[in-house]
């Protein structure tokens, strides 16, 4: 690689006519503490400017045995915008804390996971964010138990590491609140499975929803079970409607389910929101593309990514506990009374 030879601290010191120590102190903002004359400092700064000097990070790393770098171990980033949003949040936080992000995608493979973690440790990353989109209940690799680690979008029941997650139960409550405010109290159905493999999101959302409904003297009428996909939701709801069932409101456990629901409702010539109100979870682009726009509880992925990194870089990172961030209500036009 045609790497231009760069100036070294010694060069700077020589040009400024001072010792490396002095130059180093100034560079590290310790001139005050070391009571260095402002003229000396000016000379050094001029030399730095002149030589376009930048400290050699590899040397600093070796010396300090720490890089200004944090690692992100992620299972899947390609699929969906979820991981990407967390990455964006993490990236922004890292940058504002003067760190860079090293990423490793494991595709859910344990061996790859271990390999990447070792590789990152070798490079002396200052900490690792363990990020998951496929499952919220995980078993964190041994190698991560000790080091600074923050779990992102997942939880290990057996290891007390700090974790940042969405507040699914609160999201469920928020959905209930929005429906109740619209006067929807009867025939409220959920579409989607109670819980997916290794995930608690559905369960928690459902609980928040039904508890809130009950507190308001109402109740959840039932669940149309299906996988959280467009196709499955459409088929399930199609069959359900075909059996003569009707609802006043459908709570879809994610936006793809909502899309499937829209398809089934359209086939049955049921109008949203006139005949049926629909509310959903995710707040993805998809929700805004459907007609009418789906009212959806947006996952706080960006903020989660940010918080995870901030937590990780805190001196007492280990004491973080579990943080659940609130969903944001993204009002569309799919619930009776919604004003977009």
Q: What are residue 224's DSSP bridge partners?
A: 191
- Residues 18-37 close enough to bind its own copies by CB under 8 A: none
Q: For its own copies, which is the closer residue by CB, 148 or 208?
A: 148
Q: CA nearest 213: which of 250, 185, 241?
A: 185
Rounded to 5 degrees, what are φ and ψ at 243? -80, 5
Q: Considering the rule CB under 8 A, would residue 66 count as an interface residue with its own copies?
A: yes
Within 8 A by CB and 6+ apart from 85, the residues are 299, 301, 302, 305
Q: What is the phi/psi pair of residue 298, to 5°?
A: -80, 130
Which residue reads 């995980």 in tokens?
A: 138
**Of the candidates 252, 284, 107, 110, the residue with the CA atom closest to the CA atom of residue 179:** 252
List the one residue from 22, 31, 91, 248 that touches its own copies (CB under 8 A): 91
Q: State in angstroms the smallest separation of the CB of 16 from its own copies.
A: 21
Asked if 274 touches DNA (CB under 7 A), the answer is no
Q: With contacts defined by CB under 7 A, name the span among 34-42, 87-95, 161-169, 258-266 that binds DNA.
A: 34-42
Vertex 256: Cα angle to 254 and 262 (nearest 5)? 105
Q: Between residues 29 and 217, which has the closer beta carbon with respect to its own copies?
A: 29
Cis ω before 273 (30° cut-off from 0): yes
Q: Does 57 bind its own copies (CB under 8 A)?
A: yes
Asked whether position 126 contacts its own copies by CB under 8 A, the answer is: yes
Among 37, 49, 80, 194, binds its own copies (CB under 8 A): 80
Binding site for its own copies (CB under 8 A): 1-4, 54-59, 61-62, 65-67, 69, 77-81, 83-85, 87-88, 91-92, 95, 100-105, 112, 115-116, 118-124, 126-127, 146-148, 230-231, 234, 256, 259, 263, 266, 285-286, 289, 291, 302
């Amino acid at each position: 690689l045609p790497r231009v030879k760069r100036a070294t601290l010694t060069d700077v010191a020589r040009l400024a006519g001072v010792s490396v120590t002095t130059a180093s102190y100034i560079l590290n903002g310790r001139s005050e503490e070391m009571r260095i004359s402002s003229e000396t400092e000016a000379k050094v700064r001029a030399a730095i400017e002149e030589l376009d000097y930048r400290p050699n990070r590899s040397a600093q790393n070796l010396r300090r045995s720490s890089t200004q770098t944090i690692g992100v171990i992620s299972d899947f980033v390609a699929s969906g915008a979820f991981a990407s949003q967390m990455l964006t949040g993490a990236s922004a936080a890292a940058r504002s804390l003067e760190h860079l992000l090293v990423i490793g995608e494991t595709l859910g493979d344990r061996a790859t996971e271990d390999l990447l973690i070792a590789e990152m440790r070798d490079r002396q990353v200052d900490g690792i964010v363990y990020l998951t989109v496929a499952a919220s209940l995980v078993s964190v690799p041994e190698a991560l138990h000790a080091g600074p680690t923050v779990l992102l979008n997942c939880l290990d029941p057996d290891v007390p590491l700090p974790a940042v997650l969405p507040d699914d139960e609160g999201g469920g409550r928020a959905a209930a609140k929005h429906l109740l405010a619209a006067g929807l109290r009867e025939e409220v159905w959920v579409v989607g499975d109670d819980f997916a493999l290794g995930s608690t999101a559905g369960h928690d959302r459902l609980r928040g929803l039904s508890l809130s409904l009950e507190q308001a003297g109402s109740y959840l009428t039932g669940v149309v079970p299906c996988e959280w996909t467009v196709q499955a939701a459409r088929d399930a709801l199609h069959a359900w409607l075909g059996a003569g069932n009707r609802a006043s409101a459908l709570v879809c456990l994610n936006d793809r389910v909502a899309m499937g629901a829209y398809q089934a409702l359209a086939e049955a010539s049921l109008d949203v929101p006139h005949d049926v109100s629909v509310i959903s979870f995710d707040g993805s682009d998809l929700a805004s593309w459907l007609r009418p726009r789906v009212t959806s509880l947006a996952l706080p992925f960006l903020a989660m990514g940010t918080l995870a990194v901030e937590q990780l870089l805190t001196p007492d990172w280990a004491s973080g506990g579990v943080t659940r961030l609130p969903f944001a209500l993204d009002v569309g036009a799919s619930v009776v009374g919604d004003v977009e």
